[in-house]
Structure 1
Amino acid sequence: MNARTSARTSAQGLDVLYTAERDVTGWQQRHARGEVPGRWPYGLDELAAGGADVRAVGLPEPGRLRSAVARLAPGVAALASPAGRRVAVAWDENVAHRAAVLAPRTPLHAGAIWVTDAVARGRDDDATRARVRALRRADGVWCLSSAQLEPLERLLPGVPVSLLRFGVDAGFFRAAPPVERPLVVSAGGDRDRDATTLFAALEEVLRARPETEVVVQSRSTATAPVGVRVVPHLPHAQLRDLYARASAVVVATSPNLHVSGMTVALEAMATARPVVVTATPGVEDYVVDGVTGHLARSGDPASVAERLVALLDDPDAAAAAGRRGRERVEADLNTARMARDLRAIVGVGSGPAAAAVPAAPAR
């Protein structure tokens, strides 16, 4: 039995790692007030549902001076606790990097999100190399897009790589009835969002259907067309309410491997809203073209606009697509199923359900 297999089969619990800045305790308080989905970010508190002993740990940023004293930080001290054989779970490569620096001997399973695109685009800076090193020391790595599997297998020789399909909180994002007033919504602003294509498409939509209201949550500096209301930030609860008023939700991205915009697409589907998403590799893991929404050509405003107008012109078909999207979230693309799959990937948890313990303090 090799070291990776041994770490998997002998684990007694999970330490779910977050950056200290994420402030899981504060997130739990906001969740209790109904402000955010999931008791922990990404719904990872549901890892405890399989009987696993699960706790959240916040890791500080390892700087040159802080690395020498990092083990004094509460989060790192929690990782060093001798309370049985434990495995750490890092949602992405940035958290995995902190774990590699601060607790290098802790068995680790990690997600990979942005590193595949960074490598594909030829980035060879210190940050990218550090994250690749962190993933190479992991006992296992998962990704959220099938398009990342082959690149990660090449990048991480000897490290088991798994597909973990993402899920959202189907209780927080509830199905809403169809609306009468036409409203198109877009949200999100990560590095792969294509605001230029989005705004050009929305300009075409407004030209064809000027009665349509359009709201975009984005921090992009691109100039929005007349008639598009841009909001820099919306809290989760307000964004959920905006989805509920929408006729359709649109996500435009540049080509990428990690399915930028999947969260918005699934939140909209959970709200029973049809989606229009640009067709990048891996997106069909989440959106079924012509069933739960429509896929448009990347970088093609006319393609995006055509699909939005089709939904606006056929409310019955749009409502049916929204219902099918909600059904898919309820059946599969939710945090409970994601947590089950992640427990299987990590090899922890069986038997009766157990409650997640409070987050370890982090500074």
Structure 2
Amino acid sequence: MSTTRQVEVMFRSERDVDSWTARHERGEVPGRWPYGLDLLARPGVTVTRRSLPEPTRADRLRAMLRPSRRTGADLGIAWDENLARRMLVLAPHASMHAGAIWLTDALAADPDSARVRSTLDVLRRMDSVFVNSRAQVEPLERALGSSGTRVSFFTFGVDADFFAARPPADHPLVVSVGGDRDRDPATLFAALARVHDARPDVEIVVQNSSDVTPPPGVTKVPRLSHVELRELYARASVVAVATRPNLHMSGLTVSLESMATARPVVLTRTPGVEDYVVDGDNARLVPTEAPEDLADAVVELLDDPAAAHALGLRARAAIEDRLTSVHLVDNMAAAVGIA
């Protein structure tokens, strides 16, 4: 007799997945659950979700007194290191699996910090850890040591229906989106200043929260809704992404969403990027901290709309072939043993 696997996906309580699902049904956000993780459901696998708050000191003390044998739903999945900690304290499972995003870069910066050490302690208690950049695998395996925690890599993916292919833009526009800790606003703005000098007719819009003042000709906008972001991509002639050197592929989500919209993307070459794009085929890659190269690549695409359009179409094809939310969750299912 076949046995149904019980899988529970963790989310931060601050995220309010009920609201997210309702917004998805109204066409306002991608994926019924964030990252499309509801798609983990498949024959023989029942998937539920749980919202976890930040553990209190009392929660942590109770966790320390709990028997080491884990109970609860059959298998628990946490998207990142911070959720892994919440799961371990508040919702331990018979089998636990978690993503690692920022840890590998924190390891490189300060391996002895209290935050890094405590996060490694959490991940060593997972059955497996998954990453979306191949460059993270070796340093993470080395840091986890002989704990027995398996490290796996699979590619990220986006909702290719929500971010559907759009026709070429009517007017020239360069777009850049995002401001996480590994973005490089100094390089970005220096590059966009050069783009403005070369093509003063081109509109340039940047969405980020950095304190760096944009140069003349560049408009900085506040945080956008998913619908507003999708429409901004649709208006773009080129999308530019500048990051500092990092292992977890900062800027990946924006790059893939733009590619799904059939927009040509110029992004900085960081470790792991080759698992997603091929330079000159479905994106343009430039060195990190090289504003001249970034500007030149953007201007080349602006000056040749036909080539930019062809690049965008090949980018969309790459998304459809292997970088959608469906690909993401199928690869995750295989990594955690529920495929």
User: What TM-score, normalized to structure 2?
Assistant: 0.93
Given the superposition, is the C-alpha separation of residues 213 and 91 from structure 1 closer, same or farther in structure 2, using an over 3 Å criterion? same
Hey, what's the Cα distance between the residues in 1 that align with 2:28 and 2:263? 21
Cross-structure match for 2:104: 116
Pick from 57, 63, 69 the counterpart of residue 50 of structure 2.
57
The Cα shift of 1:98 comes to: 1.0
Q: Indicate the SS of the match to 1:186.
A: strand
Number of residues of Structure 1 aligned to a counterpart in Structure 2: 330
* Contact 2:71/2:92 (<8 A) preserved: no
Equivalent residue number for residue 31 of structure 1 = 24
Please report the RMSD computed on the Cα atoms of aligned residues, expressed in angstroms. Answer: 1.8
Map of 1:207 onto structure 2: 197
Deviations 1:198-254 (A, max 9, x none): 000000000000001011110000010011110120011100000001001011000
Equivalent of 2:87 in 94, 99, 120: 99
Distance apart, 1:180 and its partner CA: 3.2
Give 1:124 shift.
Answer: 3.1
Amino acid at match of 2:144: L
Instruction: Supply the distance in 1 between the matched residues of 2:33 and 2:139 (Cα, whole angstroms).
Output: 30
Q: 1:16 aligns with which of 4, 9, 15?
A: 9
* Cα distance between partner residues in 2 of 1:105 and 1:181: 53
Q: Per-residue CA shift, 1:328-359, capped at 9, x if unaligned?
A: 1111100101111111111115xxxxxxxxxx
In 2, the alpha carbon distance for the partners of 1:299 and 1:285 equals: 21
The offset of 1:49, in angstroms, is: 3.8
Deviation digits for residues 65-114 of structure 1, max 9, x if unmatched? 454679xxxxxxxx965xxx610011111100111222345420111110
Aligned-residue offset at 1:12 = 1.3
Contact 1:16 1:55 in 2 (8 A): yes
Superposed displacement of residue 11, structure 1:
7.7
For residue 190 of structure 2, what is the amino acid of its counterpart? A
Q: Work out whether residues 11 and 86 of structure 1, in 8 Å CA contact, stay in contact via their aligned partners in 2.
A: no
CA distance in 2, matches of 1:226, 1:161: 46
Residue 108 of structure 1 aligns to a residue whose secondary structure is: strand
Equivalent-residue separation in structure 2 for 1:224 and 1:103 (angstroms): 45
The Cα shift of 1:45 comes to 0.8
Alignment partners' CA distance in 1, 2:215 and 2:322: 37
Please give the residue correspondences for 1:1-363 in structure 2 after superposition, counting only pairs within 5 Å. 12-49=5-42, 51-67=44-60, 81=72, 86-104=74-92, 106-157=94-145, 158-349=148-339
Which SS does the other structure have where 1:184 is aligned? Answer: strand
Runs of 5+ consecutive residues of structure 1 not aligned to the other structure: 1-9, 71-78, 350-363
TM superposition shift of 1:130: 1.9
Deviations 1:246-276 (A, max 9, x none): 0010110000000000000000000000100
SS at match of 1:56: strand
CA deviation map 1:35-78 (0-9, x unaligned): 110010111111114542001111110121454679xxxxxxxx
Q: CA deviation at 1:313?
A: 0.6
Residue identity in the other structure for 1:141? V
Q: Distance in 2 between matches of 1:185 and 1:202?
A: 10
Deviation at 1:120, TM superposition (A): 0.6
- The answer to whether the 8 Å contact 1:13/1:348 transfers is no
Distance in 1 separating the partners of 2:282 and 2:43? 30
**Compared CA separation, residues 104 and 53, structure 1 to 2 (3 A):** closer
8 Å contact from structure 1 (residues 11, 348) kept in 2: no
Structure 1 130/106 Cα, relative in aligned 2: closer, same or farther at 3 Å?
A: farther
SS at match of 2:330: helix
Q: 1:50 touches 1:340 (CA, 8 Å); kept in 2?
A: no
Q: Greater relative contact order: 1 or 2 (C-alpha under 8 angstroms, separation 6 or more)?
A: 1
**d(CA) in 1 for partners of 2:93, 2:310:** 51
Structure 2: gaps (5+ residues): 64-69
Taking the aligned partners of 2:240 and 2:71, their CA distance within structure 1 comes to: 45
TM-score (norm 1): 0.87
One-letter amino acid matched to 2:134: S
Partners of 2:309 and 2:176 in 1: CA distance? 18
Task: Indicate the SS of the match to 1:273.
Answer: coil
SS of residue matched to 1:259:
coil
Percent identity of the aligned residues?
54
Check the 8 A contact 1:143/1:149 in 2, yes or no. Answer: yes
Within 1, Cα distance between the matches of 2:256 and 2:62? 41
Distance 1:93 1:11, change over 3 A: farther
Q: Do the aligned partners of 1:113 and 1:258 also contact (CA within 8 Å) in 2?
A: yes
Decide whether the 8 Å contact of 1:12 with 1:53 is kept in 2.
yes
- The code of the aligned residue for 1:295 comes to L
Structure 1 residues 155 and 201, CA gap change in structure 2 (3 angstroms): same
Deviation at 1:285, TM superposition (A): 1.4
